[in-house]
Amino acid sequence: MAAACDDPDILRWVPLPDPYERKHAEEFVGLTSPEGWSDDTMYNFGVFTHEGALVGAMGLVRIAHLRTAERQAELGFWTARDQRRRGYTAEAGRAVARWAFADLGVERLEWVAQVGNEGSLGVARSVGFVLEGVQRARIVHRGTRRDAWIAALLPSDWGRGQETPYLPGPPAS
């Protein structure tokens, strides 16, 4: 994990320590992730091939009141350099989204990335996210505000129902 996250392409887009060292990986795997699971604030997963090679990491973050009316979360991920463009991250994203809808009751799953992160956008689209637009100055990365793409995936996009009725607005003119 430490070697994968020290990739300049990951560090360019993902808010990780730079350089990313073994101690950062140990803290994420041994402390941050288990705490997120135990207090229901984030759910992180390792993504691996059937042979056990590390593909990357994926998580549900910014979980908003899953037990109340808001019921939304954000899907985030990174993919190791040698595992990109093989479909593994999108496959894992679909599995995590299914779990979020079916088991957690998520009714809006968001994806947010810096404008220009075409690899992440490709994965999001492959999972089924619908691009909603650009949010100006949404992300602070390495001390600079940056514009972000935002997309959403709803249970209804996959033909699933949800507890809270959804009334779409009229098309934009």
Which pLDDT score is estimated for 67?
66
Q: For residue 140, give the amino acid letter.
A: V
Which pLDDT score is estimated for 172?
79
The answer as to whether 86 is a domain residue is yes
Domain range for 129 is 2-158
**CATH number, domain with residue 22:** 3.40.630.30
How many domains does the chain divide into? 1
The answer as to whether 145 is a domain residue is yes
The answer as to whether 172 is a domain residue is no
What is the pTM for the complete model shown? 0.93
Which pLDDT score is estimated for 7?
96
* Residue 19: cis peptide before it, omega within 30 degrees of 0: yes
User: Is 5 exposed, middle or buried, given 0-12, 13-18 or 19+ CB atoms closer than 10 A?
Assistant: buried
The answer as to whether 165 is a domain residue is no
pLDDT along the chain (173 residues), means of 10: 96 96 97 94 96 97 77 96 97 98 95 98 98 97 97 96 91 80
The answer as to whether 31 is a domain residue is yes
Which pLDDT score is estimated for 65?
66
